[in-house]
Structure 1
Amino acid sequence: MADLFELRMGLYGAEAATEELTDKARSLLDEHSRRAPIVRAWALSSIPGDQPTEPGSEEELTVSELYEELPEQWRLEHPGAEPGDRRVIELRIGVYGDGLRELLDELSRLACPEPEHSSACPVPWSTNFTLPFDDHYRAYLEAHYGHLRRIMDT
C-alpha cells in the first residue's frame, strides 16, 4: 500500500562527486516513477552539513554531526591526505509509494556498485530511512512530503 516515506543518504565527497550521485539518484527515481508503481511521486533535496537533521525538531544535531563517521572513514583510508573540497551532505528523498527496501538497495548501489569490493568506496556513504510508524514521524513526513500524496490524488 502506498504511503509517505523518506530515504536518506549521507555522503562525504567533493562537490562534483556528490552532484554526480545526486543526478544518478534523480534518474533512478524518474525511471521508477515511469515504469513501476512503487514510486508514484518523489522529491529530492541536497542538504548541507550545517543544516539540522530533522527540521522543526527539538533535536539539535546537524547533518555533519549525524554523519561524523564519514570524514573519519575517509581519513583512515587516506592517511595524511588533504580532504580538499570534500564535505558532508545528505540526500533526502521523500517518496509517495512503496518498495522502500528496493529503493534503498538501489540507492546504495549508486554509491557502491560492487558491494563486495576490497577497497574503500571513493565517496564514503551511509543510508537510512524514515517511516510513518508513529504520530511524530507521520507528522514530519506529512509536513515535508504531504504534497506528493496530493499530487497523485488530483
Structure 2
Amino acid sequence: MTDLFELRLGIYAAASAAHELADKAGSLLDERSRSASVVRTWVISLIPGDQPAEPGSEEELSVAELYEELPEQWRQEHPGADPADRRVTELRIGVYGDGVRALLDELCNLACPDREHHGACPVPWSSNYTVPFDDHYRAYLETHYGHLRRVHGM
C-alpha cells in the first residue's frame, strides 16, 4: 500500500563517508522512482548524533544514544586506534511509496554489500524504519513528510 514511511540507517563514520552513503542512497531512490514506481517521492537528511532520535517525541533520546553500540563495535574491531573524525550519524529517509522492507534491505546493502563477511563491518551500521501503524507514528510521518504526499496531490 502506498503511504508515508521513514527509513533510518545509523552509521559510525567520517562525514565524507556519510555523505557518500547519502549520495548512493539518493541514486538508488532515483532509480526506484523511475523504474518500479515503488518510491514516488523521497527526501534524505543526514542527522548528527546530538539531534533528537525522534523529533517531537516525549523521549529525550539523541541519535548518538540510539546508536551507542556502533562506536563500541568499531573500537572492538580496532583496539587502541584513533577514531579520528568518525561520528554517529543517521540517514533519515522519508518516502511516499511502498515496499518499505525491500527498500530498507537495498539501503543496508549500500552500507554493507557483503553481509556474510567475517568480523565487523568497516562502517558499523544499524537500520530501522517507521510506518504509520498507530496515531502517534502517523502524526510523526505527516508532520515530517506529509509534503511528499502532497507532491502527488494525495
TM-score category, normalised to shorter length: over 0.9
Worse overlay, 60-69 or 15-24: 15-24
TM-align CA RMSD: 0.9
Task: Give unmatched runs, 5+ long, in structure 2.
Answer: none
The match for 1:153 is 153
The match for 2:134 is 134
2:94 is aligned with what amino acid? G
The 5 A counterparts of 1:52-71 are: 52-71=52-71
TM-score, structure 1 as length reference: 0.98
Distance 1:84 1:76 in 2: 15
Worse overlay, 123-132 or 12-21: 12-21
The match for 2:27 is 27
Deviation per residue, 1:11-70 (Å, 9 max, x gap): 001111111111101111111111111100101100000000111111100000000000
TM-score, structure 2 as length reference: 0.98
What percent identity do the matched residue pairs reach? Answer: 73
Off by >2 Å, runs of 4+ in structure 1: none
The match for 2:38 is 38
The match for 1:102 is 102
Count of aligned pairs: 154
Distance 1:148 1:138 in 2: 14
Task: Give unmatched runs, 5+ long, in structure 1.
Answer: none
